[in-house]
Amino acid sequence: MRVQIEHQFFGTRLGMMLVFAITAFSLLALRLYYLQGIQGSHFRDLSENNRTRTVRTAPPRGTIYDRNRELLVRNRPEFNVALLLEDIPNLQLTLETLAEITGHSVEAFKASLKHNRYSRPFEPKVVMADITWAELARIKGQMYRLPGVIVEVSPTRAYPHNSLGVQLFGYTREISKAQLAKRKADYSMGDMVGQTGLESSYEGALRGRSGYRRVEVDARGNRRSELGLVDSIPGKDLILTIDVDLQRAAEFALGEEKGAVVAIDPRNGEVLALVSKPTFDANIFSGEIRKADWNAVATDKQHPLYNRAIGSAYAPASTFKLIMAIAGLAEKKITPQTTFFCPGFFHFAGRNYGCHKKTGHGTVDLQAAITMSCDVYFYSLGQLLGINKIHDYGYLFGLGQKLGIDLEGERAGTLPSEKWKLSHLGQRWYPGETLSVAIGQGFLSTTPLQMAVSIAALANGGSIYKPMLVKEIIDTQTGEKSITEPKLETKIDLPAEIFQRIKEDAISVVNDPRGTGRKAIIPGVTVGGKTGTAQVVSLGKESLGKHLNDHAWFIAFAPAENPTIALAVIVENGGHGGARAAPVSHAVMSVYFRKLGMLTEEQQLGPVFPPGFKHVVETPQALAAEEEGLSD
């Protein structure tokens, strides 16, 4: 390096600075040589032997309890065998030893390692997930032969009630890349995240915050000391409005059928049971989910993952007649004394619309029409009201809209009107279609949740509450509670006499000898309700194969004087509502009122659960009702 100074501006001082700079750079180079050359192997040892790892500690997820603090979803420890590749001197040897101890194959371990290849360097790679206690004991005993092999413990979900409420609670799985991109903050690969149900909608409360541990380990992966610790913050606990006994009773009563049950407290909108069948054992989601298990559930033609209670819309059939009756009274198209003659069919526009009773009900007033579910009466009423009025009253009672329950996948169903048909189908409304809607068929479809909310609104005199699933969120660290207040969405502004009148008619559906809902009778408690039989195909009643049978509906409330429970039951392809859905209502309400101590010892006829549902239905009244051969 030669710097030729061609001027005298700086005197010799530039040269002095040059010497200074050369000296300084040389000192840096010498120091680097000292550190990396002379002391290099010493520092290399230090870096190898003093590897400090920052280990994230997953926060325990919040626990989910029912309204009486019974455990619904909890955590259990999951033991995983993981490899710290950087600490394993001879991978093949270690894998062979591990295979010998556990009885797994080396190839399987290698496959898991390959699957893991995107994890961070110096992070343990899991090769065996959720090992049993026996395996744990065997591996722990042989640890001295397994350098770089560690057993990690992490919390995973466990479901003490197996298949109970599986669609309601939802499940957690490892966060996907797409989800990770969406919720950056505080999440990283390998984290569990709620995917469906309450686990998803209350992810924020349930999850908690990750902690960090700074662990110093030596080159063999042995822990030497912990340098720093930030504790993880456990997730918050949820206290649901669900009563596990009612949930169990409803699931048991539905048995092998497909269907749904929603039970609500009409006083505040608390959901007491939210059941969808078929179900499956949620414990397949606990720990490592096996591919075969997942495929079996995900590809099942009966769609067990699907929450029918909120996500399936069915024709409400005759259960809709209660709202029709209210509309008729409120619009003064009829009075309770108004009668229509039912010859078994209704003639309109050159066509006969049949009543389910082909021989006809004769002359019927409102109470008789509801009790026996006379179609001709409601064809006439539907014609008087017109489709737009029917739509308006349906909407008042929460149909055709999402009710805002804290679950993904809620559907609005269809509440038709002239405007709806024009905008959705581009066609004008035909008066004949009004007749179908008047008996709850045609374009009309509702979810079980909507029917439960509407019957609750009838029971409580017109209040529509937002359906509530979580009563309290409890911070277990601070003891802080956040209590959900009931939310009154709308108050249906109609005269109280109308509600009273229709409630009495609903009571006679269950209690009148001619009533279609007699299987829902609870001795000692006045139950009101309405049956429904939704046609799947509009053919005769010949046996057509199970999947084409009618859907059975039943909606009910009790005790009639001061209702504290309202429910909606649907049994897919179950046939008659009175025969197949009303007994489910009976089962749920029996358990409910027995818990309240409102049934005497004799009336209970032994324990309701177990030994089984059959036992419950066979009350003398129910048997008697069955004998009468119901139809609606």
Partner 1 sequence: MRTRGLDRRILGNFDWKMLLALLSICGVSLVTLYSAGFNADLQSSPQMRKQAIAMGVGTIAFVFCSLVNTNFWRRWCWVLFGIGCCALMILDFAGIVAKGSRRWLELGPYFRLQPSEFTKIALVLVLARIFGSEDAPKDGYSLKQLLVPLMLVCLPVVLVALQPDLGTALTHLLIAISMIFVAGVRLGTVVRLGFLGLASAYPLWMVLHDYQRKRIITFLAPETDPLGSGYHAIQSQIAVGSGTFFGKGFLQGTQTQLRFLPEQTTDFIFSVLAEEWGFVGSILVLALYAFLLYRAFSASARCKDRFPAFVCFGVSMMLFWHVIINIGMVIGVVPVVGITLPLLSYGGSSVVAFMSAFGLVAGISMRRYFFA
Question: Residue 28 or residue 488: which is nearer to partner 1 going by CB?
Answer: 28
Enumerate the β-bridge partners of residue 463. 491
* Cα 51 to Cα 340: distance, rounded to the nearest angstrom: 89
- Residue 529 φ then ψ, to 5°: -170, -175
CB of 150 to partner 1, least distance (A): 16
CB of 52 to partner 1, least distance (A): 6
∠ CA(50), CA(52), CA(57), 5° rounding?
A: 150
CB of 241 to partner 1, least distance (A): 38
154, 276, 318, 373: which one is catalytic?
318
Q: Which residues have CB under 8 Å from 165's CB, separation 6+?
A: 72, 242, 247, 274, 275
* Cα 51 to Cα 252: distance, rounded to the nearest angstrom: 56
CB contact at 8 A, 207 and 172: no
Q: Which two tokens stand for residue 461?
A: 């005199």
Helix (H, G, I), strand (E, B), or coil: what is residue 278?
coil
Q: Which two tokens stand for residue 325?
A: 């009756």
Question: Residue 54 or residue 335: which is nearer to partner 1 going by CB?
Answer: 54
Enumerate the β-bridge partners of residue 4. none
* Cα 518 to Cα 514: distance, rounded to the nearest angstrom: 9
CB of 185 to partner 1, least distance (A): 13
CB of 155 to partner 1, least distance (A): 22
CB contact at 8 A, 212 and 228: yes
Question: Residue 22 or residue 483: which is nearer to partner 1 going by CB?
Answer: 22
CB of 213 to partner 1, least distance (A): 13
For tokens 């009154």, name the residue.
Answer: 488
Q: Which residues have CB under 8 Å from 140's CB, separation 6+?
A: 151
Question: Residue 58 or residue 99: which is nearer to partner 1 going by CB?
Answer: 58
* Cα 3 to Cα 15: distance, rounded to the nearest angstrom: 9
Q: Which two tokens stand for residue 564?
A: 């504290």
Would you give the end-to-end CA distance of the chain in angstroms? 107
* Cα 472 to Cα 239: distance, rounded to the nearest angstrom: 5
CB of 3 to partner 1, least distance (A): 5
Task: Tell me which residues touch partner 1 (CB under 8 A).
Answer: 1, 3-7, 9-11, 13-14, 17-18, 21, 24-25, 27-29, 31-33, 35-37, 39-44, 46-48, 50-54, 86, 118-123, 180, 188-189, 227
Would you call 26 a catalytic residue per the annotation?
no
Would you name the residues annotated as active-site residues?
318
